[in-house]
Amino acid sequence: MAFLTVQDLTKKYKNKTAVNNVSFEFKSGQCIALIGPNGAGKTTILRTLAGLLKPTTGSIEFANEKGNSDIRKFIGYLPQYPVFHYWMTGREFLVYSGELALLPKSEAKKRAESLLEKIGISKEARDERISRYSGGMKQRLGIAQAIIHKPKLLILDEPVSSLDPIGRREVLQLMEELKQEMSILFSTHILTDADEISDELLLLRQGEIVESGSMEELRIKYQTAKIEIEFERDIEAFAKKINDLPEVTASNIERNTLHVTASDIQLARQRILEAASNENWPLTSFNINRASLEDMFMKVVKD
Amino acid sequence: MTLFKKELLENWRNKKWIWVPLVIILLSIMDPITSYYLPQIIDSVGGLPEGSTLEMPEFAPPEVIMMSLSQLSSLGVLVLVLMSMGTIAGERKSGVTELILVKPVAYRNYITAKWVSLLMLVWISLFLGLLTSWYYINLLFGDLSFVELLQITFFYGLWLTLVVSLSIFYNALIKTPGLVAFLTILTIMVMSLINQVFNHVLEWFPNNLSSYILDMLMTDQLSTDLIATACVTMILSIALVVASIYTFRVKD
């Protein structure tokens, strides 16, 4: 059962279409990553879902909600570059956010305290002005303010892109924990991050979804696997034999390694290994090299 | 309410609650005091040439308080405009509104919290300023009753309310604080121009508030013109705030 349905979402600016006919569904508890190069429309989609932009056409619907109710209470949003009231302390800002999200004051205070604990802001830092916080602390505070009212959907715009490796790790871990409690939609251009925590990927190019599915599905679909074989000797002779197999589409020799591409990788593997064992080929290594994420990304997004 | 409390806290932390009243007080008492001490000032810088006599006009208390108001109308308004130019525009420009407006916050509350908190600051500053001026006037020039002070504060406060509302309106419309200030001041200038050109038709134009206040002090009674002008000013202010809420909502 989809709890959020985005239907034919289009956002046009004066003469530019930032998002074009984007549709997708969100199941409860899912974590979806929006991937695409800069300018693909990721931020526009997220801002539209968060209610900061009005779609030119198309609809965003939450299950069990009437059309005009304020969906903002179900949503937590962290922009790419969060800006706080720097004259407030971390604690004050969280309480303030909580009250804006209609929590009663005592409840907001309790939530703020437990979240400060959770995101690991030290006791002393909690009462310091936000202007003194480090980048990682600000990002974690940003996530805390986004989840203060326990939203159903957490929207994060490039949550880890601007952080150093340590900060990145902390935020990813936090997201991993939050996945248990809410659905998460986040954008990134770092594929490994998407791979690490998302259940589903949406690949965007120039405002359109060009591919979607789980990591595994996409891997299988875009698998342009290569077989890499190394021989002790006589590599040319074996290359010729392999090239004659019907499944093999191409082969070439680079140094001591034979690179083989095939129309059906499973079958090719079987044939080669059969031949190798029957004819006692002097193999030193046999390796199936899966297409990396980057390859897939380039393939989908570039053309 | 949360937004309103935040505004008060912010204006306290960034010291607006200190410097705005001080500036207004300073502007209010500058003219009364310098006019009173003018002879001494002239003496101390060398005096007048022998033989020439300076006829110092005798100022009536109402005239002196009008000097305060005229200072406030020029420099005071400028200060208020500069102080309020970034209240929304600045927040939008920096991006902090992204965090605020994704919360279930009514745009109405966001705008009115800003408006009311600014008005509070302005009215209290104005009262303090005129109170100080009133004190010196009573000391140096002659009687001006406390009731009159309250009346002046009330009617003149309406004019400043209009200025603040105008600033809020441009704040909701435009993201650049400098441009907000420029447009606000431009509008005030255009209004005063219109007032001068069409004075005979627009009897209740807000810019006339000051002159009606002077009339009130001279004749000692509330004229219908004054009350009508006050009403027009109030209605305009409220209309501006409503318009602000509306433009803020339809923006993107």
Q: Do B14 and A77 touch (CB under 8 A)?
A: no
Where does chain A show beta strands of DSSP type E? 2-13, 16-27, 31-35, 57-62, 75-78, 153-157, 183-188, 200-205, 208-213, 226-231, 248-254, 257-262, 283-289
B168 pLDDT higher than 90: yes
Instruction: Give A164→chain B minimum CA distance, Å.
Output: 23
A68 pLDDT higher than 90: no
| Closest residue in B to A71 (Cα–Cα) | B104
| Total length of chain B | 252
Instruction: Give A51→chain B minimum CA distance, Å.
Output: 7
Question: Which residues in chain B have Cβ-Cβ distances shorter than 8 Å to A52?
Answer: 98, 101-102, 252
Query: Where does the pLDDT of residue A291 fall: very low under 50, low under 70, confident under 90, or very high at 90 and above?
Result: low
SS3 helix, strand, coil % of chain A, rounded to 5? 40, 30, 30
Query: Where does the pLDDT of residue A233 fall: very low under 50, low under 70, confident under 90, or very high at 90 and above?
Result: confident
From the list B3, B94, B102, which residue is nearest A75 (CB)? B102
- Predicted pLDDT of residue A282: 84
- Predicted pLDDT of residue B62: 86
Most confident option among A68-77, A238-247, B50-59, B79-88: B79-88
Instruction: Give B59→chain A minimum CA distance, Å.
Output: 47
B57 pLDDT higher than 90: no
Higher local confidence (pLDDT), A22 or B241 = B241
- Mean pLDDT in residue range B164-173: 94
Query: Where does the pLDDT of residue A240 fall: very low under 50, low under 70, confident under 90, or very high at 90 and above?
Result: confident
A63 pLDDT higher than 80: no
Identify the structural domains of chain A with CATH numbers, from first to last: 2-220 (3.40.50.300), 222-302 (3.30.70.980)
The C-alpha atoms of residue A178 and residue A191 are separated, in whole angstroms, by: 20
Q: Do B99 and A83 touch (CB under 8 A)?
A: yes
From the list B10, B13, B105, which residue is nearest A100 (CB)? B105
pLDDT tens track for B8-19? 999 999 899 999
B70 pLDDT higher than 60: yes
Q: Which of A84, A100, A130 to mutate to test the interface with B (most CBs of B within 10 A)?
A: A100
From the list B10, B13, B103, which residue is nearest A72 (CB)? B103
A65 pLDDT higher than 70: no
Place of tokens 């190069």: A37
Cα of first residue to Cα of last residue in chain B, in angstroms, is: 26
| Interchain contact B200–A (C-beta under 8 A) | no
From the list B10, B95, B105, which residue is nearest A79 (CB)? B95
Percent pLDDT > 90 in chain A is 21
Q: Do A96 and B2 touch (CB under 8 A)?
A: yes
Q: Do B105 and A85 touch (CB under 8 A)?
A: no
Q: Do B104 and A101 touch (CB under 8 A)?
A: yes
Cβ neighbours for B192, distance < 8 A, ≥ 6 positions apart? B207
Instruction: Give B179→chain A minimum CA distance, Å.
Output: 22
pLDDT tens track for B109-118? 999 999 999 9
Question: Which residues in chain B have Cβ-Cβ distances shorter than 8 Å to A82?
Answer: 95, 98-99
| Total length of chain A | 303
- Predicted pLDDT of residue A118: 87
Burial A268-290 (b: 16+ CB within 10 A, else e): bbebbeeebeeeebeeeeeeeee
Instruction: Give B136→chain A minimum CA distance, Å.
Output: 38
- Predicted pLDDT of residue A192: 80
The C-alpha atoms of residue A235 and residue B1 are separated, in whole angstroms, by: 80
| Interchain contact B3–A (C-beta under 8 A) | yes
- Predicted pLDDT of residue B48: 72
Question: Which residues in chain A have Cβ-Cβ distances shorter than 8 Å to B100?
Answer: 100
The C-alpha atoms of residue B198 and residue B193 are separated, in whole angstroms, by: 9
The secondary structure element, H or E, covering residue B35 is helix B16-36
Chain A residues with CB within 8 Å of chain B CB: 50-54, 70, 72-73, 75-77, 79, 81-85, 87, 96-97, 99-102, 142, 145, 149
Q: Please name the residues between 83 and 112 in chain B that touch chain A, using a CB distance below 8 Å.
A: 94-96, 98-105
- Mean pLDDT in residue range A171-187: 90
- Mean pLDDT in residue range B20-45: 89
| Closest residue in A to B110 (Cα–Cα) | A100
A247 pLDDT higher than 90: no
Q: Do B6 and A84 touch (CB under 8 A)?
A: no
DSSP annotation string for B62-118: HHHHHHHHHHIIIIIHHHHHHHHTTTTHHHHHHTHHHHHHTSS--HHHHHHHHHHHH
- Predicted pLDDT of residue B186: 96
- Predicted pLDDT of residue A122: 87
Question: Which residues in chain B have Cβ-Cβ distances shorter than 8 Å to A147?
Answer: none
A166-174 contact pairs (CB < 8 A, 24+): A166/A136, A167/A135, A167/A136, A167/A139, A168/A193, A170/A120, A170/A136, A170/A140, A171/A136, A171/A139, A171/A140, A171/A143, A172/A196, A172/A197, A174/A118, A174/A119, A174/A140, A174/A143
Instruction: Give B8→chain A minimum CA distance, Å.
Output: 12
Query: How many A×B Cβ pairs under 8 Å?
Result: 57
- Radius of gyration of chain B from Cα atoms? 20
